């Protein structure tokens, strides 16, 4: 819709609607000021020392970990649909001549005019960005960061490489590789729910941290299952930390949370890099087949 | 009525199987044999699981509920604040997911048979459409409902885009742009309810709702407004009905079967949420009823004006969404049962009509009444299926549409609003006229080109006839024995009216 479409009665309706929304939201936020209910959050805070030192990591990838699995899916589906719009996976009915598919052309992208300083400056920056992405990923459970942030930083390094050096950039990742790594990432995340499901019946139960069958927290009624020691050690011990806090010392482990972050990072790298690559160079089935 | 089990085995499978299948199919891309085996096996597994599963809850990540007296419990029937994300699989969810998985199986088989090469990503999106439907109908959590709506909108855009035509691209782009508002609306509503109650679990939020606090109660009105906005966009209700109709019309008809099922389940899920959380607010039901009536009337009027059978069906789907929401908006047990039954029936008979339309598409001359005619001579069974589907959609006995529409009429009369009953009747009559205008021109009107033995298109696959037969059987079954379906819907209606905090 161009700006002309918003003139006249449509424009007036749009302005009135926006004003109503603005007034409604802002008065609600003002009324909430100082009245925000704490609800369930104190419970999460109480449990925090037994899991990831970064409380946010426990919330996002443990307590609400299944939410985040589907949110991760939004990124995966976003890439799938974006690339479909460019031409990967357009389907036709056998024997029916419909309208010809719209074939978006690739961007006119030329790296030959880049100056020498930028060209030499690019490689160390890309190396630094990738290193930073790995740092953010490995520190997911203990500090701000995680798989998503790692994926975004890595993707920015990839985009920088494409802008500076074109298709044959230092991170020379093919479309097939990116599609595969995105899928593998989301699969890793999804399948990390399996150990908990098989041992306790609860999908994505954190068998590494194992707050509820190991007796760490007393007063639990109803969980009959016991996580085998081998699973607890396999998923928990590599990430164990000694937390010295004002009310005591806790031997906490984030359990499967760091592994989920690795899956998330793969998914985001695959999805976002694929979008960059296909938006810049387009998609051609014949060309892909010959590669 | 209130199950205690909190780790029901089947619930995660309804989400994880489609995810893993979708990933595998996307990677397989053009390996048709592998895609066929994987897709049919997965969709068949979903049908079997939905049919065999008992009822219960699943608390994802396995954190217990916090008891008001202190301590923790894994019993879902005890009063407690949920630490985990909660899904519920009850009778309503069973019939809805069973039907959605059956449609997925049909649509997958038809796609494999009728589409040529590179079908991996497309069928992958069909599985994800099922996944988003399953999420919204099972989840008992504001935050996750939002994610279900958000990912659902994106998937719809992908399914529409898959045909690659300009009209599909335009419809998908417009829908994606505006449907972002749906997710955003639900997100703002979620933020306000979280601020007021501190809980994202719907049951817990209802229990903690500060209805007696006047100043905070006004925030609930704003949250209600945004949730209604989300309902309107996710379900394609008036005034944004043309966007959703474009999406239905621009997709392959077999894909629209799944898209309309997803849309109906979203209407049901968000509609029940509105009643559970905001049903006691003055004017809430009146707002919902007004939107429903407007949708029904605008939908049928637009359907009458169409000359392409796909677009006629698209607007009728929108119009009949209004019938679903009308029943839910009444807020009575009878009204809700009527609305839910209408949703189930609507999905079935619209699937019959859409698959008949798919059959017409295979003749290679489009689906416009101006360009195609005389199909009954070449495909008499297709014509019979379309006529039976039209009878069901128009509320003619002994088909299923009659049974749900009669409940809606009775519910409207018992609610003291006979004018709503008149609107339902008017929708039935105009549906009949709109459908038979298309059916006469496409199937029954003599065709010169056909008489000259002009051969175009491709033979209608046998699997399409098999799917049509199965769906027509269901329309007759629910028409003759409605109690079979109603038994699955009564519990949900009773809970919403009398114990809204129980999912």
Considering the domain architecture, whether residues B376 and B416 belong to the same structural domain is answered as yes
In a domain, A230, yes or no: yes
Q: Which residues of A are less than 8 Å from B29 in CB distance?
A: 89
Query: B221 and B269 share a domain?
Result: yes
- CA pseudo-torsion sign A61, A63, A65, A71: negative
First-to-last C-alpha distance (Å) of chain B:
10
Q: Which pLDDT score is estimated for A99?
A: 73
pLDDT digits (tens, 9 = 90+) for A127-140: 999 999 999 999 88
B12 and B60 fall within a common domain: yes
Expressed as residue numbers, the domain containing A235 is 199-254
Q: Name chain B contacts of A180, Cβ cutoff 8 Å.
A: 27
Closest partner residue to A43 (CB to CB) among B19, B66, B361 is: B66
In whole angstroms, give the CA distance from residue B195 to residue B153: 26
Q: Does A155 share its domain with A270? A: yes
Sign of CA pseudo-dihedral A279, A284, A287, A290 = positive
Q: Give the residue from B219, B167, B175, B213 showing the smallest Cα distance to B193.
A: B219
Tokens of A216: 């760490």
Tell me which of B100, B122, B138 is where a domain ends.
Answer: B138
Cβ-defined contact of A93 to B155 (cutoff 8 Å) = no
> Do the domain assignments include residue A172?
yes
Confidence of residue A218 (pLDDT cuts 50, 70, 90): confident
Report chain B residues whose CB lies below 8 A from the CB of A193. 12, 16, 60
**Is the domain of B92 the same as that of B155?**
no
**pLDDT at res. A4:** 62
Task: Report if residue B503 sits inside a domain.
Answer: no
**How many distinct structural domains can be found in chain B?**
2
Subunit contact B162:A89, Cβ cutoff 8 A:
yes
What are the φ/ψ torsions at residue A241 (nearest 5 degrees)?
-135, 155
Please list every residue in chain B whose beta carbon sits closer than 8 Å to the beta carbon of residue A41.
198
A131 and A266 share one domain: yes
The answer on A247 and A129 residing in a single domain is: no
Angle between helices B284-305 and B214-235 (to 10 degrees): 20
Query: Do A73 and B19 make contact, defined as CB atoms within 8 angstroms?
Result: yes
Q: What is the pLDDT of residue B328?
A: 97
Q: For residues A267 and B148, what is the distance between their CA atoms, to the nearest angstrom?
A: 19
pLDDT of residue B466: 97
- Residue B453 sits in the same domain as residue B442: yes
Domain span at B20? 1-138
| In-domain check, residue A207 | yes
Residue B334: predicted pLDDT:
97
Residues B73, A220: C-beta atoms closer than 8 Å: yes
Residue B278 lies in a domain: yes
Same domain, A85 and A183: yes
Measured between beta carbons, the chain A residues lying within 8 angstroms of B20 are: 187, 190-191
Domain end position, chosen among B73, B108, B138:
B138
Q: What are the tens digits of pLDDT across the range B317-329?
A: 999 999 999 999 9
pLDDT the model gives residue A102: 74
Q: Determine whether the interchain pair B60/A203 forms a contact, defined as Cβ–Cβ distance below 8 Å.
A: yes
State both tokens at B27.
Answer: 């990677």
Q: What is the Cα–Cα distance from B227 to B274, expressed in whole angstroms?
A: 7
Question: Is B62 within 8 Å of A202 when comparing Cβ atoms?
Answer: yes
Instruction: Flag whether A103 is in a domain.
Output: no
Residue among A25, A40, A190 minimizing CB distance to B199:
A40
Per-residue tens of pLDDT for chain B, all 503 residues: 578 899 999 999 999 999 999 999 999 999 999 999 999 999 999 999 999 999 999 999 999 999 998 889 999 999 999 999 999 999 999 999 999 999 999 999 999 999 988 899 999 999 999 999 999 999 999 999 999 999 999 999 999 999 888 899 999 999 988 887 777 888 899 999 999 999 999 999 999 987 666 777 789 999 999 999 999 988 889 888 889 999 999 999 999 999 999 999 999 999 999 999 999 888 899 999 999 999 999 999 999 999 999 999 999 999 999 999 999 999 999 999 999 999 999 999 999 999 999 999 998 888 999 888 889 988 999 999 999 999 999 999 999 999 999 999 999 999 999 999 999 999 999 999 999 999 999 999 887 665 566 666 788 999 999 999 999 999 999 999 999 999 999 999 999 999 999 98
Q: Least CB-CB distance to A206: which of B61, B141, B144?
A: B61
Residues A162 and A84 in one domain: yes
Q: Does B43 fall in a domain?
A: yes
Q: Within this chain, do residues A134 and A222 fall inside the same structural domain, yes or no?
A: no
Note the pLDDT of residue B66: 94
CA separation, residue A156 to residues A125, A138, A180, A248, A266 (Å): 11, 18, 19, 41, 14
Domain count within chain A: 2
Sort out which chain A residues have CB atoms less than 8 A from B6's CB and list them: 202, 222
**pLDDT greater than 60 at residue A3:** no
What is the model's pLDDT at position A203?
97
Task: Using the structure block, give the residue that is written with the tokens 């793969």.
Answer: A266
Pair B355, B436 in one domain: yes
Given B84, B105, B138, the domain boundary residue is B138
Give the span between the Cα atoms of B215 and B311, in whole angstroms. Answer: 47
- List the single residue in A with minimal CA-CA distance to B220: A28
Chain A residue at shortest CA distance from B152: A74
For B148, nearest residue in chain A (alpha carbons): A70
Query: Given this model, what pLDDT does residue A286 score?
Result: 72
Cβ contact (<8 Å) for B70 and A211? no
Higher pLDDT, A59 or A247: A59
Could A221 and B166 be called an inter-chain contact, meaning their C-beta atoms sit closer than 8 Å?
A: no
In chain B, DSSP finds a helix count (H) and a strand count (E) of 20, 6
Cβ neighbours around B238 below 10 Å, total:
21
Nearest CA in chain A to B366: A98
Name the residue in chain B with its Cα closest to that of A267: B23
CB contact under 8 A, B197 and A197: no
Question: Per the domain annotation, does B191 fall within a domain?
Answer: yes
Q: How far apart are CA B161 and CA B150, in angstroms?
A: 17
Residue B132 shares a structural domain with residue B157: no
Distance CA B76, CA B89 (A): 12
User: Would the CB atoms of B12 and A205 count as touching at under 8 Å?
Assistant: no
Query: What are B73's two structure tokens?
Result: 């419990």
**Radius of gyration of chain A, Cα coordinates, nearest whole angstrom:** 24
Q: Are residues A85 and A163 in the same domain?
A: yes
State residue A291's pLDDT score: 64
CA of B177 vs chain A CAs: smallest distance (Å):
11
**Inter-chain CB proximity B457 and A64 less than 8 Å:** no
A91 to B59: CB separation less than 8 angstroms, yes or no:
no
* Residue A49 domain flag: no
Nearest to A102 among B85, B166, B197 (CB): B166
A interface test, pick of B8, B22, B63 with most A CB neighbours within 10 Å: B63
Which residue from B minimizes the CA distance to A206? B61
The verdict on residue B181 lying in a domain is yes
- B26 CB neighbours in chain A (<8 A) are 80, 179, 183
The reply to whether B122 and B183 lie within a common domain is no
Q: Which of A20, A31, A62 to mutate to test the interface with B (most CBs of B within 10 A)?
A: A31
Q: Are residues B116 and A91 in contact, defined by beta-carbon separation less than 8 angstroms?
A: yes
Q: Do the domain assignments include residue A62?
A: no
- Which chain A residues contact residue B11 at CB under 8 A? 203
Per-residue pLDDT for A2 more than 60?
A: no
Say yes or no: B349 and B469 in one domain: yes
Which of B72, B119, B169 comes nearest A91 by C-beta? B119
Residue in A closest to B147 by C-alpha: A71
Do A39 and B164 make contact, defined as CB atoms within 8 angstroms?
no
Cβ distance B73 to A85 less than 8 Å, yes or no, reads: no
Rounded to an integer, the average pLDDT of A12-17 is 85
Query: Residue B343 burial by CB count (10 A; 0-12/13-18/19+): exposed, middle or buried?
Result: buried
For B85, name the nearest residue in chain A, comparing CA atoms only. A64
**Mutation site for B-interface testing, chosen from A91, A207, A221, A283 by largest number of B Cβ within 10 Å:** A91
Confidence grade of residue A100 (pLDDT, cut at 50, 70, 90): confident
Specify whether A148 is located in the same domain as A291. Answer: yes
On whether both B126 and B84 belong to a single domain, the answer is yes
B88: phi then psi, degrees, rounded to nearest 5? -130, 135
| Interchain contact, B216 vs A102, CB within 8 Å | no
d(CA A209, CA A237): 9
Element (H, E) at B82: strand B81-82
**Quick one: B211 and B179 in the same domain?**
yes
Q: Do A63 and B166 touch (CB under 8 A)?
A: no
Domain shared by B202 and B125, yes or no: no
Question: What's the burial of B451, exposed, middle or buried (CB within 10 Å: 0-12/13-18/19+)?
Answer: exposed
A-to-B residue pairs, Cβ atoms closer than 8 angstroms: 257
Q: Once rounded to an integer, what is the mean pLDDT over residues A164-192? A: 93
Q: Which two tokens stand for residue B43?
A: 């969709």
Q: Do residues A264 and A213 share a domain?
A: no
Is there a single domain that holds both residue A80 and residue A217?
no
Q: Does residue B418 fall inside a structural domain?
A: yes
Across the interface, whether the CB atoms of B458 and A223 are under 8 A apart is answered: no
């Amino acid at each position: 819709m161009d700006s002309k479409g918003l003139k006249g009665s449509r424009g007036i309706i749009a302005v009135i609607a926006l004003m109503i929304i603005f007034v409604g939201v802002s008065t609600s936020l003002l009324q909430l000021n100082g009245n925000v209910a704490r609800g369930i959050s104190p419970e999460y805070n109480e449990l925090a020392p037994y899991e990831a030192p970064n409380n946010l990591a426990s919330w996002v990838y443990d307590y609400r970990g299944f939410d985040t699995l589907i949110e991760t899916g939004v990124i995966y589906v976003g890439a799938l649909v974006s690339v479909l719009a460019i031409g990967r996976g357009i389907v036709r009915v056998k024997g029916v001549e419909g309208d010809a598919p719209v074939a978006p052309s690739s961007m006119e992208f030329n790296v030959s005019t880049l100056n020498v300083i930028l060209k030499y400056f690019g490689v160390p920056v890309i190396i630094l960005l990738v290193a930073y992405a790995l740092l953010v990923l490995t520190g997911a459970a203990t500090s701000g960061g995680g798989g998503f942030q790692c994926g975004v930083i890595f993707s920015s390094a990839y985009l920088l490489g494409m802008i500076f050096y074109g298709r044959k950039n230092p991170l020379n990742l093919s479309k097939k590789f990116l599609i595969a790594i995105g899928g593998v990432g989301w699969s890793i995340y999804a399948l990390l729910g399996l150990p908990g499901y098989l041992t306790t019946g609860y999908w994505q139960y954190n068998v590494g941290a194992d707050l509820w069958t190991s007796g760490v927290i007393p007063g639990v009624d109803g969980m009959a299952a016991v996580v085998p020691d081998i699973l607890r050690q396999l998923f928990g011990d590599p990430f164990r930390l000694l937390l010295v806090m004002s009310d005591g010392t806790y031997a906490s482990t984030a359990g499967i949370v760091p592994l989920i972050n690795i899956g998330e990072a793969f998914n985001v790298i695959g999805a976002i890099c694929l979008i960059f690559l296909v938006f810049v160079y387009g998609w051609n089935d014949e060309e892909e087949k010959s590669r | 009525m209130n199950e205690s089990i909190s780790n029901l085995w089947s619930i995660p499978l309804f989400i994880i199987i489609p995810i893993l299948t979708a990933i595998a199919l996307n990677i397989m891309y053009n390996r048709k044999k592998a895609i066929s085996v994987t897709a049919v096996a997965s969709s068949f597994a979903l049908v079997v699981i939905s049919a065999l599963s008992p009822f219960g809850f699943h608390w994802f990540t396995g954190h217990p509920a916090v008891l008001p007296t202190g301590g923790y419990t894994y019993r879902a029937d005890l009063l407690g604040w949920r630490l985990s994300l909660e899904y519920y699989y009850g009778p309503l969810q069973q019939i809805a997911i069973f039907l959605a998985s059956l449609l997925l199986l049909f649509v997958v088989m038809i796609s494999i048979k009728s589409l040529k090469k590179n079908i991996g990503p497309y069928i992958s999106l069909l599985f994800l459409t099922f996944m988003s439907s399953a999420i919204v109908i099972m989840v008992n959590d504001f935050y996750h409902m939002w994610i279900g709506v958000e990912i659902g909108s994106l998937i719809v855009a992908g399914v529409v885009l898959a045909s690659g035509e300009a009209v599909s691209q335009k419809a998908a782009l417009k829908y994606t742009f505006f449907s972002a508002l749906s997710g955003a609306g639900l997100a703002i509503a979620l933020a306000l309810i979280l601020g007021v109650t501190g809980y994202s679990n719907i049951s817990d939020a209802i229990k903690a709702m500060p209805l007696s606090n006047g100043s905070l109660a006004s925030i609930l009105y704003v949250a209600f407004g945004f949730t209604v906005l989300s309902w309107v966009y996710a379900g394609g209700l008036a005034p944004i009905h043309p966007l959703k109709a474009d999406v239905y019309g621009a997709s392959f008809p077999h894909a629209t079967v799944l898209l309309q099922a997803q849309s109906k389940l979203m209407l049901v899920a968000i509609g029940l949420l509105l009643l559970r959380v905001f049903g006691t607010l003055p004017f809430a039901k009146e707002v919902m009823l007004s939107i429903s009536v407007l949708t029904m009337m605008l939908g049928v009027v637009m359907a009458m004006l169409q000359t392409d059978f796909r677009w006629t069906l698209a607007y009728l789907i929108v119009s009949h969404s209004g019938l679903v929401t009308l029943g839910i908006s009444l807020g009575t047990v009878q009204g809700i049962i009527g609305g839910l039954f209408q949703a189930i029936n609507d999905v079935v008979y619209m699937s019959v009509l859409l698959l008949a339309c798919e059959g017409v598409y295979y003749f290679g001359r489009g689906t416009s009444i101006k360009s195609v005619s005389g199909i009954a001579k070449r495909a008499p069974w297709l014509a019979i299926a379309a006529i039976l589907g039209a009878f069901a959609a128009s509320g003619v006995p002994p088909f299923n549409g009659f049974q749900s529409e009669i409940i809606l009429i009775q519910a409207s009369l018992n609610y003291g609003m006979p004018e709503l009953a008149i609107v339902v009747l008017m929708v039935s009559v105009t549906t009949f006229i709109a459908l038979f205008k298309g059916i006469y021109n496409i199937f029954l009107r003599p065709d010169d080109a056909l008489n000259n033995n002009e051969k175009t298109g491709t033979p209608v696959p046998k699997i399409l006839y098999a799917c049509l037969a199965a769906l027509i059987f269901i329309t007759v079954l629910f028409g003759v024995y409605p109690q079979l379906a109603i038994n699955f819907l009564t519990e949900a209606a009773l809970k919403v009216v009398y114990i809204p905090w129980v999912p």
